[in-house]
Structure 1
């Protein structure tokens, strides 16, 4: 079968299409013939071995797929499923998925819509609902609001009654996208270099008031400024470190002085808890069917062009969800 394999660590150039043996499902597993695979920013970290867990060479990246069951136990052969892989392997024509992490799909969701919900959507859901405990009427700052998680978080915050949504994104087009999804204010802080600049921009966007919630994935001075822009009893939920620059150390006294909450989130911990992934996924599937949530498709790439997808992610050229068209069936306009 064709697959994208990484045999050395590095940038997009290390993603190479090769022929590999087809995997074999074990007990409680399914073999899925992949139609489409999701691309996540975490995949770029894995390629260069800078992710939260170390990678072992060689490996096939990719954690989410849509396809058809061709073997295994747990679901009928031929079933269309959305699957989360346990150890990568999604950038391939066939992949093994645990039956417990394979969710039957009806035809009312496209491949791209379903993939947008699985990692990006459930991450946004848990950040707002569990980590930050967003309440109606509160102000929420969403960084990287034009990205995969960000586009979902803006819409969820709007649906759940946020009083003001302040989105940050790079460039006018991405800011306009954030506003179209429900952000009340969208600003570009990509040229800031100090925490004070970030803090002042966020305060100005909220009429001089601090935010109740911040969703942060950049790190460095953006994290530092965002923490400073919280009001008393505010919460900052961290789900990434895209800049690869650590924030300044946070002193406990600083948190106590304004009763701030600092929390981190990594999706595998929710996956490990029965029901946490499925519950969030089902709620969002219902929201899509009701027209309340509209996943944003940022681009579709042939399997052989996975490196280009990584390049677009790393260069911040992309928006929304990126998808690999593994089967060659094509992604239609209605999926965007």
Structure 2
């Protein structure tokens, strides 16, 4: 079967199409024929060595797929090696996907949708009427967070994006206006995956008891040490968030995902899907993602 593997750490250039034997399911596992594999920013960190140690090489990246089981079920699955034509996944972790959702939409609601849901509900603990600023608001997580913030009762939603075209998309999705720092009014909740200078600007723009939720570092800039005295003066908080341990909590996966599916099928939530690349062109997908040339969910098609 076709798979994408890297044998050394580096940029997109290390991703190589290879022919591998199909995986064999172990006890409690199911073989899935992949319809589409999701591409996430975390995959680029796996590839450059930020997430993996050298003793795990060679490695097939990819953490999520939509596909068919041998008995015909259409499922979403968290996996260890998703950039392949076939994968194995734990049977207990499979989530059945409505046929009405195309694969890219379903994948957008999986990692990105669950991230946006938990950023607002679990990490920020959004209260109806509060103001929300979403960084990278046209991306996979950001485009859903803009819509969910409105759905969850935010009083005002501001969108930060890297280009005027992406700002326009965020406004179409329900943001009230584009975010410009310094903010004219301090914000109750700011969601940031960019890091760097944007993180520092956001921290200085929090309202009393505001929460800056950090869930990534797309700028690949080292974070400065947080000064507790500064947080005290701001009367605000910085909250870290990582999806993986969150999903191990009871009720953190199936219930939020069912709500996301229902909102999408009702037309109240629009998963933004981006470019679909052939599996063999994973290098191009990573390059475009790192260069912020993508909008919405990016997928690979075997």
Would you say same fold, with TM above 0.5? yes
What is the aligned partner in structure 2 of residue 34 from structure 1? 34
What is the aligned partner in structure 2 of residue 48 from structure 1? 48
- TM-fit CA distance, 1:275: 2.3
Q: How many residues align?
A: 301
Equivalent residues in 2 for 1:69-80, closer than 5 Å: 69-70=69-70, 77-80=71-74
CA distance in 1, matches of 2:40, 2:94: 19
What is the aligned partner in structure 1 of residue 277 from structure 2? 301
What is the aligned partner in structure 2 of residue 129 from structure 1? 121
Equivalent residues in 2 for 1:1-336, closer than 5 Å: 1-51=1-51, 54=53, 56-70=56-70, 77-85=71-79, 88-187=80-179, 201-204=180-183, 208-326=184-302
User: Would the aligned equivalents of 2:182 and 2:201 in 1 still touch at CA under 8 Å?
Assistant: no
CA distance in 2, matches of 1:120, 1:105: 16
CA distance in 2, matches of 1:119, 1:260: 28
- TM-fit CA distance, 1:104: 1.1
- TM-fit CA distance, 1:170: 1.0
| Cα displacement string for residues 171-221 of structure 1 (whole angstroms, at most 9, x for unaligned residues) | 11101001001111124xxxxxxxxxxxxx3344xxx22100010111121
* TM-score in terms of structure 2 length: 0.97
For structure 1, which runs of at least 5 residues remain unmatched after alignment? Answer: 71-76, 188-200, 327-336
CA distance in 2, matches of 1:270, 1:68: 26
User: Would the aligned equivalents of 1:221 and 1:247 in 2 still touch at CA under 8 Å?
Assistant: no
Question: After TM superposition, where is structure 1 displaced by more than 6 Å over at least 4 residues in a row?
Answer: none
* TM-score in terms of structure 1 length: 0.87
